[in-house]
Amino acid sequence: MMLKRAETPGPWPRWSVAFGGRGARVMTSIRGHGVLGVGVGLAMLLVATFVLYPIVQTMTYALDGQARTVWEGLLRSAETARVIRNTLVIGVATGTLGTLLGLVMALIQTRTEFRFKRALHLIALIPIVSPPFAVAMSIITLFGRSGLISRRLFGVRYDIFGADGLILALVITFMPAAYLSLVGMLQSFDSSLEEAAADLGASTWTRFRTVVFPLLGPGIANSFLLLFVSAIADLGNPIILDGGYTVLSSRLWLAIIGESDLAEGAVLSLLLLVPSLIVFVLQYAWLRRRSFVTVTGRPVSRLHPITQRNITWPLYGVALPTALMIVLIYGYIVVGAFTKVWNINFTPSLEHFAYVFRGPGREAIGDSFVLALAAMPLAGLAGLLLAFAVTMRKFPGRRVVDFASVVGVAIPGTVVGIGLILAFNQPSLGGLVPRLTRTAAIIVFALTVRSLPGVVRVTAGALNQLGSNLEEASLTLGATRGRALRTVVLPLIRPAVFGGLVWSFARSMTSLSAIIFLVTPQWRMITNEILNEAQAGRYGNAAAFSVVLVVVMVAAMKLLAMLTGFRPTNQLGTE
Amino acid sequence: MPKAEGGELNGTSEPDRPLLEVASVEKVFRSRGGRTIALDKIDLDVEEGEFLTILGPSGCGKTTLLRILAGFERPDAGEVLLEGRAITALPPNKRPLAMVFQSFALFPHLTVFDNVAYGLRIAKVPKAELRERVEVALMIINLAGLEDRLPSQLSGGQQQRVALARSIVVRPRVLLLDEPLSNLDARLREQMRAELRRIQRQLGITSIYVTHDQADAMAMSDRIVVMNEGRIEQIGTPTEVYERPASLFVADFIGQANVLEAELTHVGDGTVTVVVLGQQLTIPAAVAPPPGRVTLVIRPEDVKIAPLSLDPAEVGDLCATGRVRSHEYLGSLIQCVVQLRDGTVLIARIPKRIGNADAFIGGFSPDTEVRVAIPSAAVRPVHPR
């Protein structure tokens, strides 16, 4: 197999659902599809109203004359420079360390004979289902001033708040994204390339240096960028852990929640949005074309695993402490949920769950389910229509639809939240849309557009596998378009449609940053309750909420995998 | 435009009108890079009951043409007529044609029976007749007994047969086949080739087969349409396109060809006289090329090699001397490369006969001077494109 551009760009998340797919795909024209056309139009309207319009509003607000004073204030204060520098530091650190750890874990998984591979794999995946704040709280109780490890084991009163704790939390949270994508790339790596290098006399290390790493280069770069963006957009960890090491997202949160300063919020949103959008466009337009990993679509012959200890032992030396850290952090959350006072009184107790299920927490759980279930059909239907149109039909503006349906992932949740407030805290669009803030509707729409890109990805994945020949075969045998859809296409993608619904639900349940500015005393969500409990120092209740969320997420992911074979790549995962 | 046998349109709409007519069909694909002319004024007639193969390299427009016939694409200009009626604007489901896909496109959620019955159910064929027709179709393709299997439980060859059965069971006026054998391994492919031809003959079903494989085309077709860059290069029977290629492209694409440049000096009745390798030669030519330089092609198996001692007149009409550069023993034949005095390189294929291989290889070792001879009947003037 010659080195060629991957036709299906491997397991790395594809931004473009339509254009990353098979090269010479022939598609049917959308002509004569009244219903589909209208549906796609409505889905686009949804995206335009609740993603693009709020962003435009935010920009207008941030670049407006009134915001001048904010800009001037920001430019003058030394704090701004510090916040931006802090943000870059945690972004770069998370990107670098997370990618490195992911790469080490991926190499062990694909290229060594490590005996507990399977266990290591499962451990590396745990953070995928991490609810917001849980990792941060666990890190504090493990390594903080009176932490289990720091204080009780080593007798140190360590101050974990700040850059160190924050970076630790972010690296652990986002590492699985790097790991999963690199495992996929290494698995589909054409071994004959390495065999050729070996044949020409290259040692294991030389092969990696001259063949494997250069070819993985784009994937590694992609992973770094993704982790960078995820880290700077993350809100939950900085709120709890930054300890004065303020980053853009926590500064933004403070501006809105603490100071109710929308103008500053808008300006900070813009600052946060720009790097995210740049990375998105980079990936959408450029990196996508530079994947040189060969994907042949059939199992690749296995290379001899690496057995040299001077290579494997350093790998284990990095991976095992990481795995231990993950187990410790997540294990301790469970401990916290089931004991009287997390990290202080270890008497087993169910009182936190009593709070969650019987006490005041019940309402938040109920609301979360109602809101997530309300967003589910909206996101599911819009996602199905967009995915179908983009993968199976050609029409003018298909690229625009493709772009619009996935651009949502690039926008940090806080920015979406502020945008929605700025756009809808008065009747908008010429009075066509009433004031939506402080209603359940705006939360539902926020959840819908936040989960939409994932739904499109899940559904488009199934449709891409389906190809267009089956529908055409049905047509040549005399079926009308409607009949072809009913008897062939829909039965085959039904699991993917359900998968999209499950995805939407799970994503909504764990959504934090987009809804944190939108929740009201009437409509609350679990994620926000976790924050409230954590801030009030009731870590046990927060841990119990987290455990409930994890159970819901794991169940949803299992269901999703069962329905579609789709494995989550933290890409669009939890916050 | 080279000659296209049988390509002229019948002016009258008499009963002997072709079953399917493609008239001046054009298709242009526009992309960011610009325009690609996929089909450039294609004219083609398909007769009732024939097996017509559209042959060409990838990107020559053959699949686009097939998709236009099936109704998946609309031509930018031109018409497609079935039994004299224009079907250009009909959607695929309104055309009495059926297609077999390269990927087989079996419905993975339906059993073999339901796959084959799919088209009949749409046509509302009564239950009893449906069952009988499906069973007969499965019998014809030797898959009786596998009705309840799912496509995933079948081998590649069996899936191929089901795909074929699903298409023939609806009794289409024309069966369209899009490289249906390309997903099969070489041995199975040969077997399916013969079977496909047998079924086509047995049912008398008009078939259009698209492929880039010249062996498929030669083995199965009544007629071959050779396409290149959106144009038809030649239409003819397998023997015609091989023995009388209309263009250099056809000569090169189907089999191997030696190419010689020559000067046309005289046009006779069904013959032309050319000067080639310094010799005057009169060769058969159905259509006279324009005067001036002409391109000649000679099949390697028509090139003879003889020792220098032999009298030129005894070995062939066109003679030259050269040196053996190399030879390869290919089992059934010996391929020998000879470089003539003027630098021209000719490839010769000598059929193996009992005992001749060792003698040949020994007698004509590399660098030996030899005499090369070609009978004038084997020399073809072609369109140089």
Tokens of residue A179, six digits: 């790991």
Q: Which residues contact B228 (CB under 8 A, 6 or more apart)?
A: B56, B57, B60, B249, B253
Number of H helices, E strands in chain A: 24, 4
| CA angle (A560, A561, A566) in 5-degree steps | 95
Question: A23 pLDDT exceeds 80?
Answer: no
Helix, coil or strand: residue A155: coil
A568 vs B113: which has the higher pLDDT: B113
**What chain B residue is nearest to A478 in terms of C-alpha separation?**
B93
Q: What pLDDT was estimated at residue A31?
A: 47
- From the CA atom positions of chain A, what is the Rg in Å? 24
- Which of B73, B108, B123 is opposite residue A478, by nearest beta carbon? B123
CATH 2.30.110.10 assigned to domain B300-376? The reply is no
Rounded to an integer, the average pLDDT of A288-311 is: 56
Question: A296 pLDDT exceeds 50?
Answer: no
Taken in order B81, B84, B87, B93, is the CA torsion positive or negative?
negative
Domain ranges of chain B: 20-96+172-249, 257-298, 300-376
**Cα separation of B148 and B172, whole Å?**
25
Interface test with B, best of A476, A486, A487 (most B CBs within 10 A): A476
A51 vs A152: which has the higher pLDDT: A51
Q: Are B123 and A479 an interchain contact pair (Cβ–Cβ within 8 Å)?
A: no
Chain A hits for B105, CB-CB cut-off 8 Å, are 467, 469-470, 472-473
**Cα separation of A231 and A367, whole Å?**
28
**What is the complex's ipTM, to 2 decimals?**
0.75
Q: What pLDDT was estimated at residue B112?
A: 94
Tens digits of residue pLDDT in A496-516:
788 888 888 888 888 888 888
Most confident of A188-202, A272-286, A378-392, B39-53: B39-53
Interface test with A, best of B99, B159, B170, B185 (most A CBs within 10 A): B99
**Cα separation of A463 and A28, whole Å?**
14
Rounded to an integer, the average pLDDT of A343-371 is: 88
Question: A10 pLDDT exceeds 50?
Answer: no
Q: What pLDDT was estimated at residue A322?
A: 95
Q: What pLDDT was estimated at residue B298?
A: 92
**Cα separation of A383 and A379, whole Å?**
6
Taken in order A487, A488, A491, A493, is the CA torsion positive or negative?
negative
DSSP at A303: P
Helix, coil or strand: residue A394: strand
Q: Are A475 and B122 an interchain contact pair (Cβ–Cβ within 8 Å)?
A: no
Q: What pLDDT was estimated at residue A569?
A: 43
Tokens of residue A256, six digits: 């809105």
Tokens of residue B311, six digits: 């009298």
Across A178-192, B51-65, B215-229, least confident range: A178-192
Q: What distance in Å separates residue B6's CA from the closest CA in chain A?
A: 28
Question: A302 pLDDT exceeds 70?
Answer: no
Contact B144, B131 (CB under 8 A): no
Rounded to an integer, the average pLDDT of A461-468 is: 77
Contact A265, A256 (CB under 8 A): yes
Give the per-residue SS3 of chain B: CCCCCCCCCCCCCCCCCCCEEEEEEEEEEEECCEEEEEEEEEEEEECCCCEEEEECCCCCCHHHHHHHHHCCCCCCEEEEEECCEECCCCCHHHCCEEEECCCCCCCCCCCHHHHHHHHHHHCCCCHHHHHHHHHHHHHHCCCCCCCCCCHHHCCHHHHHHHHHHHHHCCCCCEEEEECCCCCCCHHHHHHHHHHHHHHHHHHCCEEEEEECCHHHHHHHCCEEEEEECCEEEEEECHHHHHHCCCEHHHHHHCCCCEEEEEEEEEECCCEEEEEECCEEEEEECCCCCCCEEEEEEECHHHCEEEECCCCHHHHCCEEEEEEEEEEEECCCEEEEEEEECCCCEEEEEEECCCCHHHHHHHHCCCCCEEEEEECHHHCEEEECC
Mean pLDDT of the residues in chain A: 81
Rounded to an integer, the average pLDDT of A193-207 is: 75
Q: Which residues contact B170 (CB under 8 A, 6 or more apart)?
A: A477, A478, B98, B119, B120, B123
Distance from the first to the final alpha carbon of chain B: 10
Q: At what angle do helices A213-233 and A163-187 cross, to 10 degrees?
A: 140
Tokens of residue A61, six digits: 């607000």
Choices 3.40.50.300, 3.90.650.10, 3.40.91.10, 3.40.50.12280: CATH for B20-96+172-249: 3.40.50.300
Q: At what angle do helices A53-63 and A413-424 cross, to 10 degrees?
A: 80
Rounded to an integer, the average pLDDT of B256-284 is: 87
Q: Do the bridges between strand B333-340 and strand B380-382 make them parallel or antiparallel, or are there none, so unpaired? A: unpaired
Question: A294 pLDDT exceeds 70?
Answer: no
Q: Which residues contact A520 (CB under 8 A, 6 or more apart)?
A: A438
pTM, 2 dp: 0.74
Amino acid at A363: E
Contact B285, B270 (CB under 8 A): yes
Q: Are A470 and B176 an interchain contact pair (Cβ–Cβ within 8 Å)?
A: no
Tens digits of residue pLDDT in B151-174:
888 988 899 999 999 999 999 999
Q: Which residues contact A192 (CB under 8 A, 6 or more apart)?
A: A1, A301
Q: Which residues of B142-178 are buried (b: 16+ CB within 10 A; e: fewer)?
A: ebeebbebebeebeebbbbbbbbbbbbbbbbebbbbb
pLDDT band at A544 (very low <50, low <70, confident <90, very high): very high
**Cα separation of A368 and A512, whole Å?**
11
**Cα separation of A116 and B93, whole Å?**
56
Q: What percent of chain B has pLDDT over 90?
A: 46
Contact A548, A446 (CB under 8 A): no
Q: What pLDDT was estimated at residue B385?
A: 59
Across A127-131, A334-338, A571-575, B234-238, least confident range: A571-575
Question: B136 pLDDT exceeds 90?
Answer: yes
pLDDT band at A287 (very low <50, low <70, confident <90, very high): low
**Cα separation of A65 and A54, whole Å?**
19
**Interfacial residues of A (vs B; Cβ cutoff 8 Å):** 26, 28, 32, 467, 469-470, 472-481, 483-484, 487-488, 491-492
Q: What pLDDT was estimated at residue A574?
A: 34
Contact A422, A267 (CB under 8 A): no
Chain A hits for B180, CB-CB cut-off 8 Å, are none
Q: What pLDDT was estimated at residue A286?
A: 64
Q: Which residues contact B32 (CB under 8 A, 6 or more apart)?
A: none
Q: Do the bridges between strand B34-46 and strand B206-211 make them parallel or antiparallel, or are there none, so unpaired? A: unpaired
Q: What pLDDT was estimated at residue A2?
A: 31
Helix, coil or strand: residue A29: strand
Q: Are A492 and B109 an interchain contact pair (Cβ–Cβ within 8 Å)?
A: yes
Q: What pLDDT was estimated at residue A565?
A: 60
Q: Strands of A177-263 (E only): list them.
A: none
Tens digits of residue pLDDT in B276-298:
888 888 888 877 777 788 889 99
Q: What percent of chain A has pLDDT over 70?
A: 88
Q: What pLDDT was estimated at residue A467?
A: 74
Across A180-189, A380-389, A564-573, B9-18, least confident range: A564-573
Could you tell me the CA-to-CA distances from A547 to A16, A234, A543 in Å, in that order? 34, 20, 6
| B170 reaches A (C-beta below 8 A) | yes
- Tally C-beta pairs within 8 A across A and B: 69
Tokens of residue A449, six digits: 């557009």
Tens digits of residue pLDDT in B7-65:
344 444 456 789 999 999 999 988 766 788 899 999 999 999 999 999 999 889 999 99
Across A213-217, A326-330, A387-391, least confident range: A213-217
Question: A29 pLDDT exceeds 80?
Answer: no
**Cα separation of A46 and A38, whole Å?**
12
The string of DSSP letters for A438-503 reads TSHHHHHHHHHHHHHHHHHHHHHHHHHHHTTHHHHHHHHTT--HHHHIIIIIHHHHHHHHHHHHHH
Q: What distance in Å separates residue A130's CA from the closest CA in chain B?
A: 37
Q: How far is CA A379 from the centre of its chain?
A: 16
Q: What percent of chain A has pLDDT over 90?
A: 21
Question: A366 pLDDT exceeds 60?
Answer: yes
**Cα separation of A561 and B152, whole Å?**
20
Tens digits of residue pLDDT in A518-531:
988 888 889 989 98
Chain B hits for A472, CB-CB cut-off 8 Å, are 70, 72, 92, 99, 101, 105
The pair phi, psi for residue B63, each rounded to 5°, is: -70, -40
Name the maximum alpha-carbon separation found in chain A.
Answer: 79
C-beta neighbour count of A59 within 10 angstroms: 16
Q: What pLDDT was estimated at residue A297?
A: 36
Across A201-215, A227-241, A370-384, B153-167, least confident range: A201-215
Chain B hits for A491, CB-CB cut-off 8 Å, are 109
Closest CA to B95 of B39, B176, B208: B176
B4 vs A91: which has the higher pLDDT: A91
Question: A19 pLDDT exceeds 70?
Answer: no
Could you tell me the CA-to-CA distances from A409 to A273, A390, A406, A435 in Å, in that order? 11, 17, 6, 26
A428 vs B320: which has the higher pLDDT: B320
Tens digits of residue pLDDT in B139-157:
988 888 899 999 888 988 8
A431 vs A517: which has the higher pLDDT: A517
Q: Strands of A194-341 (E only): list them.
A: 339-341
Q: What pLDDT was estimated at residue A564?
A: 63
Question: B262 pLDDT exceeds 80?
Answer: yes
A408 vs A179: which has the higher pLDDT: A179
Contact B174, B207 (CB under 8 A): yes
Question: A300 pLDDT exceeds 60?
Answer: no
Across A556-570, B296-310, B329-343, least confident range: A556-570
Tokens of residue B351, six digits: 């059929």
Q: Which residues of A391-413 are buried (b: 16+ CB within 10 A; e: fewer)?
A: bbbebeebeebbbbbbbbbbbbb
Tens digits of residue pLDDT in A85-116:
999 999 999 999 999 999 999 999 888 888 88
Q: What pLDDT was estimated at residue A323?
A: 95
Q: Are A473 and B99 an interchain contact pair (Cβ–Cβ within 8 Å)?
A: yes
Contact A311, A107 (CB under 8 A): no
- List all residues of chain B from 115 to 134 with a beta carbon under 8 Å from chain A: 118-119, 122-123
Q: What pLDDT was estimated at residue B127?
A: 94
Rounded to an integer, the average pLDDT of A23-52 is: 71
Domains (ranges, CATH) in chain A?
79-293+321-349 (1.10.3720.10), 353-575 (1.10.3720.10)
**What chain A residue is nearest to B59 in terms of C-alpha separation?**
A24
Q: What pLDDT was estimated at residue B133?
A: 95
Helix, coil or strand: residue A522: coil
Closest CA to B282 of B320, B243, B318, B248: B318
Question: B199 pLDDT exceeds 60?
Answer: yes
Place of tokens 């003879």: B304
Q: Which residues contact B198 (CB under 8 A, 6 or more apart)?
A: none
Contact A510, A131 (CB under 8 A): yes
